[in-house]
Amino acid sequence: MAQKLKRRTGELLELISTSVPSGLIPFIAGPGDLDAVRAFSQEIFRDNALDRAYLRHSLGPGHSLVFGLKMDGRIVACSALEINMVQKRIYITEIGVSESCRGRNLALWMMGRIQQIAAIYGYRHITSHVTLGNTASLNLHKKFGMKPQRVCAEYFHDGQDAYYMHKQVAA
C-alpha cells in the first residue's frame, strides 16, 4: 500500500538530494515559500501559472509536494506534485526550469526524483498533462518513459488542449 509522504522528515530531503547538479541546492517548499514558488510558476507558465489558493493548499499539510533546486537563494527548477494514496498515483501538476538554467538536464533530474519517490513510497502511476504544442515538455515526458494516453480538449486555463501522460512505476 502507498505510504503518506512525510515531507518534514530528513528522509525525503535526503532522497531528493541524490545526484544534485553542481552549484545547486535542493529544497522542499513550505508555506513560507509561497511567494517565491508563485513567482517562479508565473515566470515559466505565465497564463497557466499555479494560482495562490492552489499553492497555499499544496504547501500546507496534505497530499502534495513542491520541490526543486535553488541557485544563490533563487528557485531555478521546481516541480509541484499531487499525491493520491488511494489511486497510488503521483500527478505532476507543474515542472519547470528557469530559462537561464535550461540545457543542464534539471527537469530530467526532477523526473528521476519523482520516480524514486514513487517507487520508495509505493506509488504505481505517474501522470501529467502536457500542452499539445509544448514539444520540449512532451519530449521530456517521453524521455522519462511517459506515454500520451489521450488528448483532453481545452484542458488548460487558457483553453489549450493537452495530452494526458502516464507512466507505470515498477514495484
Residue at 49 is within a domain: yes
Which structural domain, as residue segments, surrounds residue 97?
10-129
Residue at 121 is within a domain: yes
What is the number of domains present in the chain? 1
- Its pTM stands at 0.91
Q: Confidence band (pLDDT; 50, 70, 90) for 171? A: low
CATH number of domain containing 37? 3.40.630.30
Instruction: Report DSSP state, residue 150.
Output: E
DSSP 90-122: EEEEEEEE-GGGTTS-HHHHHHHHHHHHHHHHT
Residue at 67 is within a domain: yes
Of 44-48, 135-139, 153-157, minimum mean pLDDT range: 44-48
In this predicted model, what pLDDT tens digit does every residue of 18-47 receive, in sequence order?
899 999 999 999 888 999 999 999 999 887
Residue at 170 is within a domain: no
Residue at 137 is within a domain: no
Residue at 158 is within a domain: no
DSSP 52-89: HHHHHHHHSSSSEEEEEEEETTEEEEEEEEEEETTTTE
Locate cell 507558465: which residue?
45
